[in-house]
């Protein structure tokens, strides 16, 4: 069997996502006791900061019987210019899977091309598939499924927005993005989603949220965009998820945020801490969903 990578949501079919969700549910309920990673090692390369991704992958690997290595790019030779393709081939001789968080998505694709073990994308400037796979699990958990559901994305057309477009394409739910001009998601990913499901972009946040079953946002300046923070603060004025905006969503709508969050910027304190917020369940679910992904890709 050729190795399988998870670089983007469409690397999994709708059926495979369904199977990952079922497995993650069993893991979350404590019904799964297998140790498919017994004696196996996951290398985790980080070129950007992380709390959730790092800890959930490390703990998840341990719970599946394996061992995880935290490799900061500051400390490995990759950070001093050793080529990605060499790093991929060397690590493949030692470990059974590689998780990487970095800037350029093409670097992750290159790593995957040259590695003989599964590669998992832990976030790039383009995509954040592990987070959005978790978010669709969280949707399934609180909304009972994806069919007939509408999701609103408010704010930056960033890595999260792009992965939500991919998820909508594969799972078939409706996605409405409210993004200011100049901050739209990736054009090709939007067109791919449009060919598969009902997606739209507007500058009107109310239009995006009206009747939505899940309302989602993220920081206005992602990692690597710190220098643009001030300019972005101006561009995203009016794109805050507030209690008044949440009132336009479906009555039982949930609020999602991948975290870390900037209260008072993309979301108000009352929504973040309010009864519709599922942000800490989302954070917990990273553990269950990534364990299911690792068991699927690395457990064989």
- 218 catalytic? Reply is yes
50 vs 63, beta carbon nearer ligand NVA: 50
Let me know how long the chain is. 300
> DSSP string spanning 204-262?
-HHHHHTT-SEEEE--SS-TT-GGGHHHHHHHTTT--B-HHHHTTS-TT-EEEE-S---
Query: Binding to ligand CP (CB under 6 A): which residues in 110-169?
Result: 123, 131
* DSSP-derived secondary structure letter, 10: G
- To ligand NVA, the closest distance from the beta carbon of 262 in angstroms equals 11
279 near ligand NVA (CB under 6 A): no
Among 114, 64, 61, which residue's Cα sits nearest to residue 86? 114
- 131 catalytic? Reply is yes
- Residue found under tokens 């899977």: 97
Quick one: what does residue 219 bind among ligand CP, ligand NVA, none, with the CB cut-off 5 to 8 Å set by partner type? ligand NVA
3-state secondary structure of 181: coil
Catalytic residue among 130, 258, 288, 290: 258
96 vs 218, beta carbon nearer ligand NVA: 218
Cα(258)–Cα(102) distance, integer angstroms:
17
- To ligand NVA, the closest distance from the beta carbon of 90 in angstroms equals 28
Query: Binding to ligand CP (CB under 6 A): which residues in 51-70?
Result: 51-53
Using CB under 6 A as the binding criterion, the count of chain residues that bind ligand NVA stands at 10
- To ligand CP, the closest distance from the beta carbon of 97 in angstroms equals 18
Neighbours of 40 (CB within 10 A): 20
Q: So which residues are the catalytic ones?
A: 101, 128, 131, 218, 258, 286
Please give the residue ranges that form the binding site for ligand NVA (CB under 6 A).
123, 128, 158-160, 218-219, 222-223, 258
């Amino acid at each position: 069997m050729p190795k399988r990578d998870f670089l983007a949501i469409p690397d999994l079919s709708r059926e495979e996502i369904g199977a990952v969700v079922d497995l993650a549910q069993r893991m979350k309920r404590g019904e799964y006791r297998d140790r498919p990673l017994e004696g196996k090692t996951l290398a985790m390369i980080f070129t950007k900061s992380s709390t959730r991704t790092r800890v959930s992958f490390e703990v998840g690997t341990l719970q599946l019987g394996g061992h995880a290595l935290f490799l900061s790019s500051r400390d490995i030779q990759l950070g001093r210019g050793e080529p990605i393709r060499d790093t991929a081939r060397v690590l493949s001789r030692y470990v059974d899977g590689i998780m990487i968080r970095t800037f350029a998505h093409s670097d992750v694709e290159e790593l995957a091309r040259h590695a003989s073990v599964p590669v998992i994308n832990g976030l790039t400037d383009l995509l954040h598939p592990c987070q959005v796979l978790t978010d669709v699990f969280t949707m399934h958990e609180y909304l009972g499924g994806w069919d007939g559901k509408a999701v609103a994305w408010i704010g930056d057309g960033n890595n999260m927005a792009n992965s939500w477009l991919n998820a909508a394409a594969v799972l078939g739910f409706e996605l409405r993005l409210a993004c200011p001009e100049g901050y739209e998601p990736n054009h090709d990913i939007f067109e791919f989603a449009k060919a598969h499901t009902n997606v739209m972009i507007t500058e009107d946040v109310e239009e995006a949220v009206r009747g939505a079953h899940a309302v989602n946002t993220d920081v206005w300046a992602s990692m690597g965009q710190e220098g643009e923070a001030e300019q972005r603060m101006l561009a995203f004025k009016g794109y805050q998820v507030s209690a008044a905006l949440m009132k336009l969503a479906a009555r039982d709508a949930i609020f999602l945020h991948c975290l870390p969050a900037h209260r008072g910027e993309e979301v108000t304190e009352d929504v973040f801490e309010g009864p519709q917020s599922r942000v800490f369940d989302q954070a917990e679910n990273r553990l269950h969903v990534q364990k299911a992904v690792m068991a699927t890709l690395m457990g064989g």
